Every structure is written in C-alpha cells, then in structure tokens.
C-alpha cells in the first residue's frame, strides 16, 4: 500500500491505529480494506471507476447520516451529538498533526479555526432543523450549497457564474419550494434553518478553498478539533448531558462519527484524487437523494407526487450545475475523463 497523503504518511496508518482499538468492529475491517487497496496497481480506467464508487458510497453514507441524526435527537441534545461526532472524526485523523515531514503551519491552524467555525455552525443549524422537519427535506434543502458555492465565489472573488449555473439556481429554488410548501404548515422553522445550513456549507467550502494550499489532511483534522471544541462548550453551557447511553444511541453516534464523518471523508479524499472534480461533486451530491430515500424507507416519512417532483427538480439542478462548459468538456475528452 503506497497511497499517501500530502505529508508523506500512508493514509491507512492513522485509520488502522484508530480502528485497531476496536477489533470487533466490522467497520474497522471494511475501512482497512477500502484504504488498503493498492489503487496504483490498477489501470487508469479501473482506478476512475473505483474512485467513482467511493464517491457514490460517500454520498450514501452522508445520506444515511440524516436518518441517524434524526433518530439520535430523541435521546441526545444537538451540541452533544455534534461534540461526539466531531471528536470521533478528530481522533481518527489526529495522526496527521504529528508529521515530522510536514510540521503544522500557523496559516493551517488559522484555516482550521475558520473552517471549524463554519462547519460547526452548518451542522448545528442542520441538526436543529432536523427537530422541526423531516430527514428527507433536511437532506434535500441542505443540497442548495452545490449551487450557492459558485454564487458566493462570484461575490467573493468576482468569478461570474455562467447561465447554466443561474438556471440550476432557479431549478433548485423551484424544487425547494415544491418540497417545503407541501402540507398545511408550509415553510416551517426547520426548513429555514436547513436553508441557512446550506448557505453555511457553501461558505465553508469557500473558506476551505481560500486555504487550499495548506495540507488538506491537517486542515481537515483541525477543523474537526475546533468544531468539537465549540460543540463541547455549547453543550456544557446550554444543554444537559445525556443521563444514559442506550445501545441505539451508541450505534447512531458511531455511525455519525465513524461512517458519516471519518470514513466518508477518507473515501472522499481518495476518490477526488482519482476522479475529475465535476464527477466528484456530482457523485457526492447524491447525499440529498439518499437522505430522502432513507427517510422514507427507515423512518416511514411520506413520499408524495409533489415531493417526488421537488426531488427531481433539485437533483436536476445538481446535475446541471456540475456539467462542464463546452471547452472544458472538450479538454476532458482529450484527457480521457
């Protein structure tokens, strides 16, 4: 295995140390298999297919995270749920902070602080929104960040989005309207909080883009560290620590921390290494569809014709926003993408 992260440390090393503490955990073996695969021995086409599968599985794991969080909120408060989730993620990636080849830089720490504040705010509003809306609507409305990112980059860096992005934004808004206005209650507090979460996710992506020259794994770990710190502080100040940890709660926390945070992030980083950015964004954005699907199948949430139309419009906007321009498509064809 020679798949390495930027500091030259094998990516599997930290995961093996982390999951090695839990020899009876099936996910540990699955993570070791995924990360331990020597993808460089595969041909380019096989690597791309495997990368796309990893990205698609990432979307599925994130979609399942909506259902796990919805269930966990019945027995644990928002900030303690986020505190455990981010702490697990930080522990799993903590190995990258102690690299002799790539010592921590001050700018990396600042980037981790900024990204951590954004991701905590996004997760907090998303989790609070889950208390007032369904897991499916929460997943789909959150996906607005895919279209909002180009608009924020336009306001931030002056990079004007094309007509295709504007069309995708209109489709997205129409899909959200169909989804959120269904029923007698119309738009509720959960829908508004979830939409705010989408904006914060978009801001988080822009912040990470501003620090993209820093070590990716260190930046990711630090954002988890600072996000966990904020969640622990908020939980200790404003919420009550869970009186008991049931088997269901432990399973839900383990899924959110290991699958939806640590494992999904690892596969995302590996997948992006071997897939084009357009394909990577497209596959990962399937989290909204998976979230809606799992909400219907596992939580018994209703799925009406209007909900289905809203889903199709939102997913259509996601696809449209990720399609490359003609000149980019031609270049991609020349490169064999």
Please spell the DSSP secondary structure of 174-185, one letter per residue: HHHHHHHS-SSS
Q: At residue 306, does pLDDT exceed 90?
A: no
Look at 70 and 278; give whichever has higher pLDDT: 70
In terms of average pLDDT, the best of 91-100, 112-121, 134-143, 274-283 is: 112-121
Is the pLDDT confidence value at 76 over 70? yes
Kindly state the average pLDDT of the residues 222-248: 93
Contact 246, 127 (CB under 8 A): no
pLDDT above 90: residue 305: no
Q: Return d(Cα 337, Cα 333) in angstroms, integer.
A: 6
> Which of 48-52, 249-253, 321-325, 327-331 has the largest mean confidence?
249-253
Check residue 31 and give its pLDDT. 44
Q: Does residue 117 or residue 1 have the better pLDDT?
A: 117
Please check whether residue 179 is in contact with residue 311, taking contact to mean a CB–CB distance below 8 angstroms. Answer: yes
Q: What is the spatial distance between Cα 264 and Cα 58, in angstroms, rounded to a whole number? A: 5
Least confident range from 16-30, 87-101, 128-142, 173-187: namely 16-30
pLDDT above 90: residue 154: no
pLDDT value at position 39?
A: 57
More confident: 225 or 53: 225
CA distance 138 to 140: 6
Identify the pLDDT of residue 311.
77
Q: Which of 68-82, 103-117, 272-286 has the lowest mean pLDDT?
A: 272-286
CA 334 from chain center: how many Å?
31
The structure's pTM equals 0.71
Give the pLDDT confidence of 163-209 residue by residue, as tens digits. 777 787 778 778 777 766 655 456 788 888 988 998 998 888 888 87
Tokens matching residue 319: 């696809």
Hey, what are 137's tokens?
A: 């609507």
At 5 the pLDDT is 39
């Amino acid at each position: 295995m020679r798949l390495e992260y930027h500091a030259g440390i094998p990516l599997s090393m930290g995961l093996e140390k982390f999951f090695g503490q839990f020899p009876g955990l099936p996910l540990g073996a699955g993570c070791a298999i995924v990360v331990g695969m020597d993808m460089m021995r595969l041909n380019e086409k096989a690597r791309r297919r495997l990368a796309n599968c990893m990205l698609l599985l990432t979307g599925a794991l994130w979609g399942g995270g909506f259902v796990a969080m919805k269930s966990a909120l019945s027995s644990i408060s928002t900030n303690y749920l986020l505190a455990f989730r981010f702490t697990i993620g930080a522990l799993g990636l903590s190995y990258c902070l102690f690299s002799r080849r790539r010592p921590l830089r001050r700018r990396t720490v600042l980037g981790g602080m900024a990204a951590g504040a954004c991701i905590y705010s996004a997760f907090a509003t998303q989790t609070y929104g889950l208390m007032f809306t369904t897991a499916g609507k929460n997943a789909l409305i959150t996906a607005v960040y895919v279209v909002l990112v180009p608009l924020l980059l336009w306001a931030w860096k002056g990079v004007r989005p094309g007509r295709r992005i504007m069309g995708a934004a209109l489709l997205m808004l129409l899909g959200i309207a169909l989804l959120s206005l269904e029923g007698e209650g119309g738009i509720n507090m959960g829908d508004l909080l979830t939409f705010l979460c989408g904006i914060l996710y978009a801001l988080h992506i822009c912040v990470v883009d501003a620090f993209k020259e820093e070590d990716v794994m260190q930046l990711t770990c630090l954002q988890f560290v600072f996000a966990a710190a904020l969640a622990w502080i908020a939980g200790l100040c404003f919420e009550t620590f869970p009186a008991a940890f049931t088997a269901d709660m432990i399973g839900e926390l383990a899924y959110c921390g290991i699958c939806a945070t640590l494992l999904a992030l690892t596969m995302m980083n590996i997948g992006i290494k071997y897939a084009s950015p357009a394909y990577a964004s497209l596959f990962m954005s399937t989290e909204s569809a998976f979230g809606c699907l799992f909400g219907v199948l596992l939580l018994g949430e209703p799925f009406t014709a209007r909900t289905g139309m809203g889903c199709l419009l939102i997913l259509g906007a996601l696809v449209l926003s990720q399609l490359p321009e003609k000149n980019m498509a031609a270049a991609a064809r020349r490169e064999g993408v």
